[in-house]
Amino acid sequence: MILDHGEGFLSVYADNESLLRGVGDQVAADEVIASVGNTGGNAQSGLYFEMRYQGHPFDPLTWTVAR
């Protein structure tokens, strides 16, 4: 799942078991968008998370702490 935060910022979520929102849906802060599952051949459940600015990945801590 990819969320567009505007101003060139995107967040990417993978290894989801199910997606609870769809293309074009508005998402509010603290809203559940997906459930994490045991996918991708991994032995345990987990979440892949990535932040991008203008298409380039960056350390998400710099974005989440500043907001």
pTM: 0.78
Domain ranges of the chain: 2-66
| pLDDT on residue 56 | 96
Asked if pLDDT for residue 66 goes beyond 80, the answer is no
Q: Classify domain 2-66 by CATH number.
A: 2.70.70.10
pLDDT, mean of residues 62-66 = 68
Average of pLDDT values for 33-37? 88
User: What is the distance between the alpha carbons of residues 38 and 46, in angstroms, rounded to a whole number?
Assistant: 7
Residue 67 is predicted with a pLDDT of 55
Contacts of 15 (CB under 8 A, 6+ apart): 36, 37, 39, 40, 42, 45, 46, 47, 48
Query: Quick one: average pLDDT of 24-28?
Result: 94
Q: What is the mean pLDDT of the chain?
A: 87
